[in-house]
Amino acid sequence: MSELIHTVADLTDLRNKDVLEAALARVIFELAEASRLSIWRVVNEGADIKLRERVSLPPRAEQGTEIPLRAARREWRDCYAGRRHISCPSDDGEQCRHVFPLCNEREVIGLLELLRPSRLASGQEQTLHGLLRVYRNHLGLLDYGDRDELTGLLNRRTFGTYFKQITAEKAVHAVIAVIDVDFFKRVNDQFGHPYGDEVLILLARLISRYFVGIEGVFRFGGEEFLLILPDMKQEQAWSLLDSFRLAVAQAAFPQVGRVTVSIGFTKIRVDDSCAAAFGRADEALYLAKHSGRNRVKCYEELVLEGYLAGNRHSGGDIELF
Average pLDDT, the chain: 87
Q: Is 113 a catalytic residue?
A: no
Q: What's the predicted TM-score (pTM) here?
A: 0.64
223, 224, 301, 319: which one is catalytic?
223
Q: Per-residue confidence at 126, pLDDT binned at 50, 70, 90?
A: very high
Residue 170 has pLDDT above 50, yes or no: no
Q: Per-residue confidence at 19, pLDDT binned at 50, 70, 90?
A: confident
Burial class (CB in 10 A: 0-12, 13-18, 19+), 90: middle
Domains and CATH numbers, the chain: 2-146 (3.30.450.40), 156-304 (3.30.70.270)
Residue 318 has pLDDT above 60, yes or no: no
Q: Per-residue confidence at 72, pLDDT binned at 50, 70, 90?
A: very high
For the ranges 62-66, 268-272, 279-283, which has the lowest average pLDDT?
62-66
Residue 47 has pLDDT above 70, yes or no: no
Residue 6 has pLDDT above 90, yes or no: no
pLDDT in tens, 100-118: 999 987 789 899 999 999 9
**Cα dihedral 84, 90, 91, 93 in deg (nearest 10):** -140
Q: What is the pLDDT of residue 316?
A: 41
> Which alpha helices (DSSP H) does the chain contain, by range?
2-13, 17-31, 74-82, 122-146, 159-167, 184-191, 193-210, 234-250, 274-290, 299-304
Collapse the DSSP code of 246 into the 3-class scheme (helix H, G, I; strand E, B; otherwise coil) and give the result: helix
For residue 190, give the nearest of 257, 108, 120, 268 by alpha carbon.
Answer: 257
Q: Per-residue confidence at 321, pLDDT binned at 50, 70, 90?
A: very low
Q: In degrees, to the nearest 5, what angle opens at C-alpha 162 toward C-alphas 161 and 163?
A: 90
> Distance between CA 270 and CA 268 in Å, rounded?
7
> Distance between CA 135 and CA 131 in Å, rounded?
6
Q: What is the pLDDT of residue 64?
A: 66
Q: In degrees, to the nearest 5, what angle opens at C-alpha 259 toward C-alphas 254 and 262?
A: 155
> Distance between CA 137 and CA 152 in Å, rounded?
17
Which amino acid, one-letter code, is at 268?
A: I
- Cis preceding-peptide flag for 58 (omega within 30 of 0): yes
State the average pLDDT over residues 270-275. Answer: 87
pLDDT in tens, 221-232: 899 999 999 888
Q: What is the DSSP letter of 61?
A: T
